[in-house]
Structure 1
Amino acid sequence: MLRNRQNKISDSSPYAALTGTYTIDPVHSTIGFSVRHAMISNVRGRFDAFEGLLILDGYDPARSEAHVSVQTQSLDTSISARDAHLTGPEFFDSATFPLMTFRSTGIVPIGEDEFRLVGNLRIKDIELPLAINLTFGGAAQDAYGNYRVGFEGTATLQRSDWGLTWNTALETGGVLVGDKVTLSLDISAVLQESQAAA
């Protein structure tokens, strides 16, 4: 399978062999975040339940697509009380809005193995543009014969833009939770089986 895909590499495109539709592997992927806490440190967390597709066009990367859906109830910051607050009505309101979604609208090469993925992020009932800086991590056949691609990504957003405005003032000045959120992505995706045999 790997040999077949390597044979498809074109001199005009170093990514030609990647062309195909891939399923994000949540077991080997991470969607994480960090946010300033009490004006002095960062709280980090992740979402444990998500799925997505990468539709890669290695001959013309600008035609590639990404579609991701995240279960907001799966948020984990390692403190159950805090997780319950974040998934409750003052933040994500997971009971009413169980999914957070991203769908790409374009991708622009910005350097060697680096791209800017632009699209729309929907949280609760608000959908706004978001740009994600991606680095292509490589492609390989794993021990089970699956053809995989990997990407790392980062993005920043203002949570208040999506209506996540809860906060409380500190006696020393400032607020408990920062507005700026940094997203971090580490994605491993598997070529769909029907295409792997091609």
Structure 2
Amino acid sequence: MTKYLLLAACIMAPILLKAQTWNVQSTSISFQVSMFGADVDGTFKGFKGTIVFDILRPETASISGSVDAATLSTNNSLRDRHLKEKDQFFEVSKYPKIAMRSTKIEKAPAGYTGTFDLTLKTVTKSVMIPFTFTKTGANAVMRGTVDINRKDWKFGGNTLGMSDKVKLDFELDLSARVSENK
């Protein structure tokens, strides 16, 4: 009998321990940078990504996504055009996506910490992002905030009055895939 229980456990373990794949229902992705001491807020839209996450086994997670750089908005059309077109900024016609991919996810005292490769134009750098993942039934919300140094990505050149620190915030509203929700 013990052999059969052990065999059943070996067969069922991979199924039971499988991380859940989540569909992205909506997103909020924003940034904030200081310009001559005044905060400039902006947003991005067009998020596409894959979220595979299990709150009990975060080390099995795989999170990747990108935003459409052309969706940048600071609610100032002249500034938006400058940020989208100039070579020291986004150059959206040449680099249409800003991408991020997890390389490691760990449990942290207040949620999780993800190590991500963040790619902006031609530069990819590793960044650690603390985040929360709150699951409620078949839905979940993933939220995170991180400060990065824009110069690490060779972004913004020597723009007079522009802070090096850029705050990034994201919130992803997720739902479990129907096949995994049964």
Q: Quick check: TM above 0.5? A: yes
Q: Determine whether 1:166 maps to 2:163.
A: no
CA distance in 2, matches of 1:109, 1:76: 33
CA distance in 1, matches of 2:77, 2:120: 22
Q: Determine whether 1:47 maps to 2:44.
A: yes
CA distance in 2, matches of 1:64, 1:86: 33
How big is the shift at 1:17?
Answer: 9.8
CA distance in 2, matches of 1:137, 1:78: 31
User: Deviations for 1:169-192, whole angstroms, at most 9, x for unmatched residues?
Assistant: xxxxxx321111010111111212
May I ask how many residue pairs the two structures share in their alignment? Answer: 166
Within a 5 Å distance, the mapping from 1:24-39 to structure 2 comes to: 24-26=24-26, 29-38=27-36
Kept in 1: contact 2:103–2:116 (CA 8 A)? yes
How big is the shift at 1:166?
Answer: 2.9
- Unaligned 5+ runs, structure 1: 1-15, 141-146, 169-174
Kept in 1: contact 2:54–2:60 (CA 8 A)? yes
CA distance in 2, matches of 1:151, 1:36: 26
Aligned counterpart in structure 2 of residue 180 of structure 1, from 165, 174, 177: 165
User: Deviations for 1:95-129, whole angstroms, at most 9, x for unmatched residues?
Assistant: 000011000011111115x1111110001011110
Kept in 1: contact 2:55–2:133 (CA 8 A)? no
Within a 5 Å distance, the mapping from 1:147-162 to structure 2 comes to: 147-162=138-153
Q: Determine whether 1:23 maps to 2:23.
A: yes
Q: Which residue of 2 aligns with 1:74?
A: 71
Within a 5 Å distance, the mapping from 1:112-151 to structure 2 comes to: 112=110, 114-140=111-137, 147-151=138-142
CA distance in 1, matches of 2:38, 2:50: 34
CA radius of gyration, larger in:
2
Give the aligned CA root-mean-square deviation in angstroms. 1.9
CA distance in 2, matches of 1:96, 1:130: 24
| Change beyond 3 A, Cα 1:194–1:138 | closer
Letter in 1 for 2:130: N
CA distance in 1, matches of 2:18, 2:80: 38
Q: Which residue of 2 aligns with 1:95?
A: 93
- In the TM superposition, structure 1's runs of 4+ consecutive aligned residues that sit over 6 Å from their partners are none
Identity %: 27
Kept in 1: contact 2:19–2:60 (CA 8 A)? no
- Unaligned 5+ runs, structure 2: 1-15
CA distance in 2, matches of 1:92, 1:151: 26
The structure richer in strand per residue is 2
Q: Which residue of 1 aligns with 2:106?
A: 108
